[in-house]
Amino acid sequence: MLQAIHNKLDELYPEMVDIRRYLHQYPEVSFQETKTAQYIADYYEKLGIPYEKNIGGNGVIATLTGGKPGKTVALRADFDALPIQDEKDVPYRSKVDGVMHACGHDGHTASLLTLAKTMKGFQDELPGTILFLHQHAEEYAPGGAKPIIESGALDDVDAVFGTHLWATTPLGVLQTSKDVFMAGPDRFDITVQGQGGHGGYPHETKDAITIGSQLVSQLQQIVSRRLDPLKTAVISIGQFEAGDAFNVIADKAKLVGTVRYLDKDVQDQVMKEMEKIIKGICVANDATYTFNYEKGYPPLVNHAEEAELVLKASENVQAIHTAEEVKPVMAGEDFAYYTMEKPGAYFFTGAQKEGNPYPHHHPMFDIDERAIPTAAKTLIAAYFEYQKQ
């Protein structure tokens, strides 16, 4: 039956592309994906598959109960976009100013919708129940996964699987981990309040730019000099805002950045070390400060048995020539909440587009659309492997 399912997915490839390109042209940012959610709901309405919407926010879950006994497995796809201007010169370029599917969630949605359409035709032969889990708001904490779990919609689920079309991994390559797979992504902002003045009289000021620059430099030494070298963390400053004129010393500076970690004890240590450094530098420069630290998603930890199952399932997907275990990546994913509650695994489906070297969250981001059916085939192969347990 699996081969017949894969053949049907191949037949639906043009529809996958159409869905992905439509969604790419009409993206919606996190927590505002009402039209996208309705598009998904309407698709299930036409298929005649029961569904619920507004789950935990804009989430949509469709349920396909097979004709044979078995376990209940959720297959997840996210569908939010990012506040990025699409700079690609392609026919399916975003038509929404300043909003773009720069992470592949449009492809995830196309993959899961067409998989549902395919499995509807095999419902009588299907063992168990598939929950087609369409999740909103993956990109921004608190995200959509946590409220979906809190809604109770997954209480009866035995396992959950998900994939990400990964634009920096070659087509035909599957990557996963049997342990920690993705980092915990936190956010922080620091405001330094000094005393401005004339650019020609720096001794009469408390230069917020100079103080902020010391912070940029010294915060990096947390990773290089205060953490165990065998531990992993990242501290990155993404924004540094200060000053209004070339000859005026700024009185205020704002720094915004992210911390990435794999272990909870590292997160705790980084937070404490940051506070000490910020306080020390500001006291030394007779300035005041505010420091806000927002904890994001926890690290995504796969269950070893389910990750092994994904690797085994990939052997039944002809388009996959390499399935490998990889070291954790420092991007974050709120799929982490699912594997905290249920057995499951997350994996990358290689989707690198030839001639397009741009990473996720880039204005030129794009994927090789041939990866969309590969993702669907692997998800359903994993589903059937899980039913054998």
Give the DSSP letter of residue 51. Answer: E
Find how far residue 194's CA is from the centre of its chain: 37
Pairing of strands 288-294, 59-65: unpaired
The Cα-based distances of 309 to 1, 4, 52, 111, 162 in angstroms read: 18, 21, 29, 20, 13
Residue 293's nearest CA partner among 306, 308, 274 is 274
Buried b (16+ CB within 10 A) or exposed e, 167-205: bebebbbbbbbbebbbbbbbbbebbbebebbeeeeeeeb
32: helix, strand or coil: coil
Active site residue 334: no
**In this structure, what are the phi and psi dihedrals at residue 379, rounded to the nearest 5 degrees?**
-60, -45
Residue 129 carries which side chain, given as an amino acid letter?
A: T
Question: Residue 226 has what DSSP assignment?
Answer: I
Residue 131 · residue 73 · CB < 8 Å: yes
Residue with tokens 């500001």: 282
Instruction: Dig out the tokens for 16 from the structure.
Output: 């996958």
Contact (Cβ atoms closer than 8 angstroms) between residue 34 and residue 28: yes
CA distance 193 to 206: 9
Q: Is 150 a catalytic residue?
A: no
Q: Which of 33, 80, 106, 251 does the annotation list as catalytic?
A: 80
Q: How many CB atoms lie within 10 A of CB 284?
A: 10
Binding-site annotation, residues: 103, 105, 139, 164, 361
- Measured from the Cβ of residue 279, the count of other Cβ atoms closer than 10 Å reads 12
Q: What is the CA radius of gyration of the chain?
A: 23
User: Facing residues of 73 across strands?
Assistant: 130, 159
Binding residues for Mn(2+): 103, 105, 139, 164, 361
Q: Which of 138, 333, 368, 385 is catalytic?
A: 138
> Which are the catalytic amino acids?
80, 138
